Amino acid sequence: MRILITGANGQLGTALQQELTDHTLHGIDLPDYDISKRGQMAAEISAFAPDIVINAAAYTNVDGCAENFPLAYSANSLGPHNLALLCQQHDIALLHVSTNEVFPGERENGGYYEWDTPRPINPYGNSKAAAEFHIRAIHPKHYIVRTAWLYAAQGRNFIHTMLKYGGERGAVRVVTDEVGNPTYCGDLAAAIHQLIQTEQYGTYHFVNEGACSRWAFAQEIFRLAGLEVDNAPITSAEFERKSTPPPHCALYNTAGAAIGITLRPWQEALAEYIASHTNQ
């Protein structure tokens, strides 16, 4: 299979290139390639002639999206819209990576299923929900894969932040009322690898099994890394920021599990990651 990967230099894009080695890959990313420029993408798709495009490109700075929504829309909505049009034109499958933040996070005692209606509460979530709308309206041969709280060895993520500040300061303050699914990019890439071979198009939730609060996630990071850190629990109201993430936004993997695609528990994935990718 010939696979074009956008956002190839990011956390997930890198993991996908490491995972999909049995296929012919072409990875593209900023600054040389911009998915919001349809003409540029049209030329690239025509030249490479992929069987599928995997869109891992996104502007994921949640606070940055609140400060500059035109940029968020360009990267997260217009770009996927362009890819959907081009893939429909050339009869190419499209896999688009979306987020749990398309949901409002109101389910304090539960989570969201693939068929639940998106209702984002912040600019980042709005930009990603718009992309889902465009793709569904334009191209039937699509996979939409929602995920959450990604981490990998390269790039910026919550684990790296906690290890940096915990190690330097010996104390952090982390919110207890934001709940999601910590997800290892390597596991997500493996699930995507399985999915694109099925041709069972639709919407999927691929996250490591189980959910936790940001505070509990940090606690487990410090425990596994052997760090003694004063992890003070706070609420989101005590943590000022430009955007408001959805508070209780865990995802359930129902559609993927129905066709045999599951991800291991988040604690197991995190333990392996900390053992392999930290110096602790």
Residue 61 φ/ψ, nearest 5 degrees: -75, 100
Token pair recorded at residue 229: 């850190």
How far apart CA 224 and CA 137 sit, in angstroms, is: 45
Residue 38 burial class via C-beta count within 10 angstroms: exposed 0-12, middle 13-18, buried 19 and up: middle
Q: Which of 124, 151, 184, 204 is labelled catalytic?
A: 124
Contact 204, 144 (CB under 8 A): yes
Rounded Cα distance between 50 and 258, Å, is 28
Cβ 115 vs Cβ 161: under 8 Å? no
Amino acid at 159: I
d(CA 26, CA 20): 11
> Torsions phi, psi of 189, nearest 5?
-60, -40
Q: CA end-to-end span of the chain, whole Å? A: 40
Peptide bond into 31 cis (omega under 30): yes
Question: What does the alpha-carbon distance between residue 43 and residue 233 come to, in Å, rounded to a whole number?
Answer: 51
Q: Residue 26's closest CA among 5, 45, 44?
A: 5
Instruction: Name residue 205's beta-bridge partners.
Output: 146
73 is annotated as an active-site residue: no
> C-alpha dihedral over 188, 190, 192, 198, to 10 degrees?
-150
The set of catalytic residues is 124
